[in-house]
Amino acid sequence: MLTVLRCGPQALVQDRGRPGYAHLGVPPSGALDLPALEHANRLVGNPESAAGIEALLGGIALRAGSPCMVAVTGAVADLSTGAWGAAVRLAVGDVLRVGTPTRGLRCYLAVSGGLAVPAALGSRSTDVLSGLGPAPLSAGDVLPLGSQGTMSARPPAGEAPTQQDPPAPVLELPVLLGPRDDWFHEPAVQLATGQWTVSPAGNRIGVRLHGTCLHRAQHLRDVELPTEPVVTGAVQVPPSGQPVIFLNDHPTTGGYPVVGVVPPQALPALAQARPGVTVRLAPATAVR
């Protein structure tokens, strides 16, 4: 087991989420930088689907109550064990302290056996919109671990400790136009010529962008859109014109038009974008 000694701004249990319940109003949830969690799981010999910890701005400290392997990926932070991006063995009583990353936003911590906290609708992910799943972590929490298989689990052959790529000065996100691009005046031009920064007001529900206002087509200025389903990555434009890009804990329906959708493979980089990062949106039409 692991005991939480302290948390940074927010530490949540996350796995691959609970897709498939949107018709009941349940968001898909799951780790925002899923490749980072999956990598951490592989490093400690877990299935990629095992539950780990998503630590916003790091800052978490844990004490091992049993021998285990841990790995930290995602945003690069100093570790008391020294080896970010690699599997480290902890003995009973050993403490792992994760520092605050200076680049990137979310650290991912996996432990051998995975976190064996109770699941809701088949997933151990915390959904901050609906409250499903485990409560956010706090000091004093004791986290049970699943069976660890062989303690001699080694990182898969060929997967050495990695370094995170330095982030580009401007985060450029592809946006597949639709379903309501026709609600906007020249949507491809507005998106391509716009520029935004990541607002500090975002969270797992969505990233709020601050910058260029996106304007509707004249004849739709005061028209209301009947509420309709939305997907993760949707670029929703409220009356303010300041876009919101939905992340994993997004509401399943919405009444503001979605000008386009950021495809899933581009979302982990967005999930690691700190407030103040410059964002540009590159419109494209989906491949049929």
Partner 1 sequence: MLDCGPDAVLIEVHSLAEVAAVRAAVLAAAPGYVVDVVPAARTVLVRCTPGTSLATIRELVAQLRLDTVVAPAGRSVTIPVIYDGPDLELVAATAGLTVKEVIELHTSTTYTVAFCGFAPGFGYLTGLPEPLRQARLDTPRPTVPTGAVGLAGPYTGVYPRSTPGGWRLLGRTPAVLFDSARPQPALLTPGDQVRFEARPC
Interacting residue with partner 1 among 159, 229, 240, 276 (CB under 8 A): 229
Distance, in Å, from the CA atom of 98 to the CA atom of 110, rounded to the nearest integer, reads 13
Q: Which listed range, 99-107, 209-217, 251-259, 269-277, lies at the site for partner 1 (CB under 8 A)? A: 251-259
Q: Which of residues 16-75 bind partner 1 (CB under 8 A)?
A: 19-26
Q: Which listed range, 14-22, 45-53, 97-105, 183-191, lies at the site for partner 1 (CB under 8 A)? A: 14-22
Residue 244 CA, distance from chain mean position: 15
Using the Cα atoms of residue 96, residue 3, residue 11 and residue 120 in order, give the sign of their dihedral.
Answer: positive
Residue 269 CA, distance from chain mean position: 9
DSSP classification of residue 85 = T
Q: Is 251 in the site for partner 1 (CB under 8 A)?
A: yes
Interacting residue with partner 1 among 31, 57, 177, 281 (CB under 8 A): 177
Q: Is 240 in the site for partner 1 (CB under 8 A)?
A: no
Token pair for residue 98? Answer: 């994760």
Interacting residue with partner 1 among 168, 201, 223, 286 (CB under 8 A): 286
- Are 105 and 227 contacting, i.e. CB atoms less than 8 angstroms apart? no
Interacting residue with partner 1 among 102, 195, 227, 240 (CB under 8 A): 227
Largest CA distance in the chain: 67
Distance, in Å, from the CA atom of 231 to the CA atom of 248, rounded to the nearest integer, reads 9
Please count the other Cβ atoms lying within 10 Å of the Cβ belonging to residue 150: 8
Q: Which listed range, 13-21, 138-146, 158-166, 212-220, lies at the site for partner 1 (CB under 8 A)? A: 13-21
Interacting residue with partner 1 among 121, 153, 220, 282 (CB under 8 A): 121
Q: Which listed range, 56-64, 71-79, 199-207, 225-233, lies at the site for partner 1 (CB under 8 A)? A: 225-233
Burial class of 134 by CB neighbour count within 10 A (0 to 12, 13 to 18, 19+): buried
Binding site for partner 1 (CB under 8 A): 19-26, 120-121, 129-132, 176-180, 226-229, 231, 233-234, 251-254, 258, 261-264, 285-288
